[in-house]
Amino acid sequence: MTDARHDMRSAPKTWNRSLEEEPLESVVGRLLRGQGKTLATAESCTGGYLGKFLTDLPGSSDFYQGGIISYSNALKIRHLEVSPAALDRWGAVSEPVACQMARGVRNWSGADLGISVTGIAGPSGGSPEKPVGLVYLGLSDSVETRARELLLEGDREAIRLRACRIALDWIRRHLT
């Protein structure tokens, strides 16, 4: 009984330790580097936070080319090939716009992978249809472009942080 309890306690501890030892952005970097692939980011609600994570570790220029912080819709249209029709019909926080941003930043940068984040980080700006915490991610490579819808809890910082971590984890799973 004591042994079993000890096992149960030590197992998650080891798991936590190994996660602490290699942050998600480091795993993503290792996978991209190993596959000789490059990445670019298109960020709206996270405003550069995802790029900051990707460049936390030295040597990230091996795989991270950079990206666009498209906080205004004008920049999304002008530089990310987001269509005014999509913005009118679905709004900036939508699956089609997340896809266009991810594809757009891949074309803009020449990177192999494009990842995008667009959402409502709050505290204001929410509506019954699009509440605070609604975030769309887009992921684009040479084969296809997909989007994911997230509904995140917490304050502005927590929503932005979680959006970044889920985006990094999506890239990780896409590469494995």
**Footprint on this chain of a second copy (rule: CB under 8 A):** 41, 43, 45-52, 54-56, 58-61, 64-72, 74-75, 79, 108-110, 121-125, 156-157, 160
Nearest approach, Cβ of residue 11 and a second copy (Å): 31
What the block records as the tokens of 61 is 């220029």
CA–CA separation, 7 vs 119, rounded Å? 42
Judging by beta carbons within 10 Å of its beta carbon (0-12, 13-18, 19+), is residue 130 exposed, middle or buried?
middle
Nearest approach, Cβ of residue 43 and a second copy (Å): 7
Please give the helix or strand (H or E) that residue 109 lies within, else none.
helix 95-109
Give the closest residue to 147 by CA, choosing from 131, 125, 176, 167: 167
Nearest approach, Cβ of residue 90 and a second copy (Å): 18
Q: In what order do the strands lie in the sheet with 113-119?
A: 39-43, 113-119, 134-140, 145-151
Nearest approach, Cβ of residue 58 and a second copy (Å): 6
Nearer to a second copy, 44 or 140 (CB): 44
Nearer to a second copy, 12 or 110 (CB): 110
Nearer to a second copy, 148 or 156 (CB): 156
Please give the helix or strand (H or E) that residue 42 lies within, else none.
strand 39-43
What the block records as the tokens of 4 is 């079993």
Nearer to a second copy, 6 or 131 (CB): 131
Nearer to a second copy, 99 or 105 (CB): 105
Residues 119 and 93 sit within 8 Å (Cβ to Cβ): yes
